[in-house]
Structure 1
Amino acid sequence: NIDQPASTLWYHSHVHRLTGPQVYAGLAGLMIIEDPDAAISGLPNSYGVDDIPLIVQDRAFDDDAQLVYVSRGPTLMHGLRGGQILVNGVIRPKAGVPQGVVRFRILNASNARIYTFAFEDGRSFHQIGTDGGLLARPATMNSLVLAPAERAEVLVDFSDGKSARLLSGQDFNDPMASGNMMGGMMSRMMGADFGGPTTIDEDGRFEIMSFEVNQAKAAKVQAIPVNIASAPSEPDWGEPVRERSFSMEMSMGGMMGSQNSMSINGKPMDMSRIDSQIKLNETELWKVSSNNMAHPFHIHGTSFQIVSQNRQKVAFDQTGLKDVFLVQGEAEFLVRFRKKADSTTPFMYHCHILEHEDAGMMGQFTVS
């Protein structure tokens, strides 16, 4: 029985210490939840025509076009990044779209890379959904940042009939992004493309994919809606009854290949330990902090509301329900659980840079 709003979700392998290599090798997929009882949205909804999933990943290949995965030294400390960008399993594809409004469901399924998506011609687009479902109204923007595991639904207007190329800026969370000296050295040592993607301008942007208008495809929607009728009501969880703090921490042991070089609140992941015990249907305020670099924090078993980032309110497009959020400094979430989890099958919270998760930046909790 699926009990949640319409949303764009995903699933992947979660074997402790093997999540990174298994997801990298392909054990992941997209899942779309639809709500037959929701009001008619007026949004594009013809799958593969004007409602298109975009699963974005970066990968490294050797000279024989085989995937190469390495988790040690810099790739363990900062997460693995590859030099080739794939969308739906294809390197820099080209898609035909109708001459009208098209809905893209974008998933960052990369192990570590953060993307800043934008169109080469500078056209604006409109975010209509976050991890946990639709927003009450579209949010107009020219760029979109997605950390690993984050999803966003956006509307793009192709009514002008022009082709477009989707780009990304450099990963601001990658200390090797500018110049890629270390990536180039790793590529030479491993015989694979661990350097950054090929850039197309002086700003270091690189291609994700391109789009061409196909007149044979019917465009059912010709205008961006003002409001989204099928969006769920904003939850009113009341005042939090308690606060919890979580600090995502790194040590230099990762450079030496230590399996427990990452931690939360000073404790590396231990499958025999329950880190928190949470009460069912009680609202809590979680204060989550990161050190050394930004970390995407993911909570299993619920969606949450972002209260603030570094004591500042977040933009409207971040006010929808989330299950992953890129913490840069300190963030505050309102969290409430409606599903139980016992000590034999606990929920988890963790950094969604998969190499960090595998190295111990994860904890377990029960809900009762």
Structure 2
Amino acid sequence: MVNGTVNPYLNVNRELVRLRLLNGSNSQNFYLRLSDGSSFQQIASDGGFLSSPLTTRALFLAPGERAEIIVDFSRIDRDRLFLMNGSLAILDFMVSGQTSNSAEIPQSLRDVQAIPIGTNPKTRLFELQSMGVNGTINGKFFDMDRIDEEVNINETEIWIIRNIGGMMQPGGHPFHVHGTQFQVLSRNGQEPPPAEKGFKDTVYVDVGEEVAIKVQFTHKGIYMYHCHILEHEEGGMMGQFRVE
């Protein structure tokens, strides 16, 4: 379904069209592409604009992740195009009207300022382990009466999210943090891909992977971090932290 509709379609003109995409599924990853194999521009991720448009032919979205893309329908010489998830068509574009080339995509979208970090930042490790539909973080199931982490307000920290697998259908985990927008520092010790260089609040960590993020909290309160797969979240893969 798209926007709650089975077999959805969207009427579009032959021009640049901006699409805001959210993976709202409970557990399914989406591997999005256009049916004709053509490229499109990704301009934003979870927390807003990237620094510049990213030309791509495919887009991966785990549950909870968002992206904004621009598709140029002025180049389409047919009346239908499909947004695909792998080999499955999930949205039917009905293309009509005269070709319009009046709009342009800016080559500079936003000055993405790096989250400032000190010389000896606090580092925390979060190990994700799944057991069927259940899961733990650092070996603990969620307890609403327990605060798992105490965080100082306005201090930048490095959080390392590590997927150590598990038993009975281990898989990837979209790790989501409330109350902030973070920046991906590294993925498996390497520089993150361009699509992960904007601000985010959800990052996918596959089995055996390790992702480091820079995170800062500017408001006091009690917040959550959790796997964004609904069954895992409800099965215990969630924790609480307090910002003071």
Q: Same fold by TM (over 0.5)?
A: yes
- Residue number among 216, 223, 230 corresponding to 1:336 in the alignment: 216
Alpha-carbon distance between aligned partners in 2 of 1:317 and 1:221, rounded to the nearest angstrom: 27
Residue identity in the other structure for 2:148: D
- Residues 1-368 of structure 1: pairs in structure 2 closer than 5 A: 86-161=1-76, 162=78, 163-169=80-86, 205-215=87-97, 221-228=102-109, 231-239=110-118, 241-251=121-131, 254=133, 261-290=134-163, 291=165, 292-328=170-206, 329-341=209-221, 346-368=222-244
Q: What percentage of aligned pairs have identical amino acids?
A: 41
Give the C-alpha shift of residue 223 in structure 1. Answer: 3.1
> Number of residues paired by the alignment?
234
Quickly say closer, same or farther: Cα 1:316–1:324, change in 2 above 3 A.
same
Residue identity in the other structure for 1:225: P
Give the C-alpha shift of residue 160 in structure 1. Answer: 2.1
Give the C-alpha shift of residue 238 in structure 1. Answer: 2.0
Give the C-alpha shift of residue 282 in structure 1. Answer: 0.5
Residue identity in the other structure for 2:144: M
Give the C-alpha shift of residue 128 in structure 1. Answer: 0.3
Q: Please say if residues 134 and 232 of structure 1, whose CA atoms lie closer than 8 Å, have aligned partners that are also in contact.
A: no
Partner of 1:59: none
Alpha-carbon distance between aligned partners in 1 of 2:198 and 2:107, rounded to the nearest angstrom: 17
Give the C-alpha shift of residue 314 in structure 1. Answer: 1.3
Alpha-carbon distance between aligned partners in 2 of 1:87 and 1:301, rounded to the nearest angstrom: 27
Alpha-carbon distance between aligned partners in 2 of 1:221 and 1:330, rounded to the nearest angstrom: 44
Q: Which deviations, in whole Å up to 9, do the C-alpha atoms of 1:55-92 show, x marking residues without a partner?
A: xxxxxxxxxxxxxxxxxxxxxxxxxxxxxxx1111113
Residue identity in the other structure for 2:220: K
Alpha-carbon distance between aligned partners in 1 of 2:102 and 2:69, rounded to the nearest angstrom: 14
Quickly say closer, same or farther: Cα 1:299–1:211, change in 2 above 3 A.
same
Q: Report the TM-score, using the length of structure 2 for normalisation.
A: 0.91
Q: Please say if residues 159 and 222 of structure 1, whose CA atoms lie closer than 8 Å, have aligned partners that are also in contact.
A: no
Q: Report the TM-score, using the length of structure 1 for normalisation.
A: 0.61
Residue identity in the other structure for 2:92: S
Residue identity in the other structure for 2:126: F
Alpha-carbon distance between aligned partners in 1 of 2:171 and 2:210, rounded to the nearest angstrom: 12
Alpha-carbon distance between aligned partners in 2 of 1:160 and 1:267, rounded to the nearest angstrom: 53
Alpha-carbon distance between aligned partners in 2 of 1:355 and 1:313, rounded to the nearest angstrom: 31
Residue identity in the other structure for 2:84: L
Secondary structure class of the residue paired with 1:156:
strand
Secondary structure class of the residue paired with 1:111:
coil
Q: Which deviations, in whole Å up to 9, do the C-alpha atoms of 1:158-209 show, x marking residues without a partner?
A: 012433111112xxxxxxxxxxxxxxxxxxxxxxxxxxxxxxxxxxx11111
Deviates further, 281-290 or 91-100: 91-100
Give the C-alpha shift of residue 236 in structure 1. Answer: 3.5
Q: Please say if residues 115 and 183 of structure 2, whose CA atoms lie closer than 8 Å, have aligned partners that are also in contact.
A: no
Q: Please say if residues 115 and 214 of structure 2, whose CA atoms lie closer than 8 Å, have aligned partners that are also in contact.
A: no
Alpha-carbon distance between aligned partners in 1 of 2:125 and 2:115, rounded to the nearest angstrom: 22
Alpha-carbon distance between aligned partners in 1 of 2:58 and 2:28, rounded to the nearest angstrom: 16
Alpha-carbon distance between aligned partners in 1 of 2:150 and 2:123, rounded to the nearest angstrom: 13
Residue identity in the other structure for 2:16: V
User: Which one scores higher on RCO, CA 8 angstroms, separation ≥ 6?
Assistant: 2
Quickly say closer, same or farther: Cα 1:353–1:221, change in 2 above 3 A.
farther
Alpha-carbon distance between aligned partners in 2 of 1:210 and 1:288, rounded to the nearest angstrom: 37
- Structure 1, gaps ≥5 residues long: 1-85, 170-204, 255-260
